[in-house]
Amino acid sequence: MFKNILVNALVNLGDVVLTTSALALIKKNFPDTRITMLVKPVVADAVIDNPVVDDVIVLDYRAKENSFGKMRELVKDIRQRNFDLAISFDRKLRPALITFLARIPRRVCPTKVFDDNKSRVTLLYTDVIEISHDLNKTLQAETYQEIVRKFFKIDGHETPKFPKKISPVADKLMNRLPNKKFKIVLCVKGTFPLKTWSKENFAAVVRELNNLYDAAFFIVGAPNDRAYADEVIGAIGFDVKNFCGETSLTDLAELFRRADLFITVDTGATHIAATTGVKMITVYGCTSPDRWHPINPNAIALTSRENCCPCTKKTCDEPLCLQHVTPAQVLDAAKKFLT
């Protein structure tokens, strides 16, 4: 029915990974369909050479050189690619205008995808898909798949996909670890404070695991997480490797494949790790695992389910959502995986 599809996903890393479940559903039902993704530069590694993505267009709309002329060139490029369908997973104005001006004949957008607010952006689309379920009680990957199911009139569920590549970087980093029975990886910093479990809690967990198991520990994250990770290592009090900023996204996935356990806060790396099947424990603060649970049978989600959660705040005077998830809970979950 449609042979050449452009998918708009100008969203953060975790969401980009989750959208690939919807692309997998398209590929399963229409294997000859060509899918091109429009993404931000920082997440390009997640879709280049992805098994359900045929091509990638990178849009750096924050760049200073991204003038009107550059946007016009992008519209021209997209028009020349002869897409017959565009699907929006972001409901943002810029990609809506691009696909509209590129004259893609069918353009699909959901009534909601991140919140319940109405948007005039839908006026730029030929097909608006009604999303009626409660976003906060539905896995986000299912919201993306519901857009696809309703438009194409298909059934089924798929899991997110991620590129699998040979990684000399991952090999080199793992060789820096001491020779221990278990390799335990940590992600200690979220994108804002109400996602970040305390340094003291992480330190207490690592010290106790070190007493119980023959384990080597290392921390992963973005380059700007490195200083914070060093502070956590200082609180731990013994040698934990800091690999923040030393990996690409595909290198990171290979580290997860080599690990025995991943302990993390709710962040984009959580959803990359889930695609590898690694045993993992995720601590949730203001966000809800009902919506953001890793799609991985080897995942345990810990949350205190406060009455005020989920919330949209970035900071809070008394973040009970983080305080009420205890090191003892994380240790109990870790023991189930390591014993």
Per-residue pLDDT reduced to its tens digit, 55-82: 999 998 765 656 777 888 999 999 999 9
- What pLDDT score was predicted for residue 69? 76
The pair of three-digit structure tokens given for residue 114, joined into one six-digit string: 């991140």
Q: Tokens 């013994």 label which residue?
A: 238
Give tens-digit pLDDT for 90-129. Answer: 999 999 999 999 999 999 999 999 999 999 999 999 999 9
Structural domains of the chain sorted by starting position, each given as residue range(s) with its CATH number in brackets = 4-152 (3.40.50.2000), 168-338 (3.40.50.2000)
Kindly write down the DSSP assignment for every residue of 267-301, as one continuous string. Answer: SHHHHHHHHHT--EEEE-SSS-HHHH--S-TTEEE
- What pLDDT score was predicted for residue 313? 83
- What pLDDT score was predicted for residue 228? 98
Stronger pLDDT, 315 or 292, i.e. the higher one: 292
- Taking the C-alpha atoms of residue 13 and residue 267, their distance in angstroms, rounded to an integer, is 9
Give tens-digit pLDDT for 148-184. Answer: 999 999 999 999 999 999 999 999 999 999 999 999 9
The helix (run of H) or strand (run of E) holding residue 261 is: strand 261-265
**CB 106, CB 129: distance < 8 Å:** no
Q: What's the predicted TM-score (pTM) here?
A: 0.95
Q: What are phi and psi of 288, to 5 degrees?
A: -115, 135
Stronger pLDDT, 33 or 60, i.e. the higher one: 33
Average pLDDT over residues 137-141: 97
List CB contacts of 41: < 8 A, sequence separation 6 or more.
58, 60
**Quick check: 277 pLDDT over 70?**
yes
- Taking the C-alpha atoms of residue 39 and residue 134, their distance in angstroms, rounded to an integer, is 26
DSSP character for 133? Answer: S
- What pLDDT score was predicted for residue 66? 61
Q: What are phi and psi of 286, to 5 degrees?
A: -75, -15
- Taking the C-alpha atoms of residue 205 and residue 203, their distance in angstroms, rounded to an integer, is 5
**Quick check: 190 pLDDT over 70?**
yes
**Quick check: 280 pLDDT over 70?**
yes
Instruction: Indicate the SS3 state at residue 127.
Output: strand
Give tens-digit pLDDT for 193-241. Answer: 999 999 999 999 999 999 999 999 999 999 999 999 999 999 999 999 9
Query: Which amino acid appears at position 334 of this protein?
Result: A
| pLDDT confidence bin for 10, thresholds 50/70/90 | very high
Give, in degrees to the nearest 5, the angle at Cα 188 between 182 and 190.
140
Residue among 248, 127, 232 nearest 187 (CA): 232
Average pLDDT over residues 307-317: 86
**Quick check: 303 pLDDT over 70?**
yes
Percent of the chain with pLDDT over 70: 98
